[in-house]
Structure formats: structure tokens, C-alpha cells
Amino acid sequence: MSNIPDELRYTEEHEYVRSESDGVVTIGITDYAQGELGDIVYVDLPDVGTEVAKMDVFGTIEAVKAVSELFSPLTGEVVDINTALDGNPSLINQHPYEDGWMIKLRVQNLATIEELMSATDYAQHIGE
């Protein structure tokens, strides 16, 4: 069983969204996703200031086994990226919801967060 925190929102592509204060959300990949990907070697993230639309590819993860793309769960502007991943991408494997976060997004329309999956829905989505 993978870790699926109740307070987060999720996408079908296995990203999570954590609402912070002032309209900013933190985005990363779920514990289930990191487990499926296996050891992560490189992460390519967008520059701060990049505008992304919902479902845009915002980055790439290279794991030992395979490469996969990161899809933005929401529309907004990238206001911060996790530079620690540059030197230590295994943080995603170790702590996907904490030190392994990827980007912070200033969301255009906060109401759209509610359209994302709940923890219960996501658990169902991955068959747990």
C-alpha cells in the first residue's frame, strides 16, 4: 500500500497538489508513482516564471528504468522550483510529499483545485 495523504488532491497522471496559503500550490508525484518509476536519476523542471496550462508537460523524470513526463494539474505560473532535486533526485523516491516536491504554482483559478481527485478517489484509481 502506498502513502496517500488525505489532505492532498491528485491527478490521473499521479501528481499531487497541496494547497498552501496565498493561492500557491505545491506539486509533486505520488508515493505510488515514485514506486512504479523506481530509482529516479534526473529531473527536468521549468524555469521560475513559466506559465503552464492544465495538462501541459512541465517537466521530465528520468528513472533508471524509463522516462516519464510531468503534466501540470492546474493552470498558473511557476513561482518556485525545488532546486535540491538537481543534486539529489532520489529525494523524490524517499520523501515524495515533503523534500521531494517539484514546483510551486500560483494558480489562476483556485476553484479548479476542487475538480481534482480526492485521496479516496485516487486510491480507487490506482486500485488500492
E-assigned strand segments in the chain: 9-10, 15-19, 24-29, 40-44, 51-52, 57-63, 67-71, 76-81, 103-107
Is 67 an interacting residue with respect to other proteins (CB under 8 A)? yes
> Hey, which residues between 94 and 113 contact other proteins (CB under 8 A)?
none
AA identity, residue 43: V
Q: Pick the stretch among 3-11, 20-28, 41-49, 113-121 that binds other proteins (CB under 8 A).
A: 41-49
93: helix, coil or strand?
helix
Residue from 12, 39, 98, 121 touching other proteins (CB under 8 A): that is 39
Stretch that binds other proteins, among 1-9, 24-32, 56-64, 106-114 (CB under 8 A): 56-64
Give the interface with other proteins as residue ranges (CB under 8 A). 38-39, 41-42, 44, 60, 62, 64-67, 93
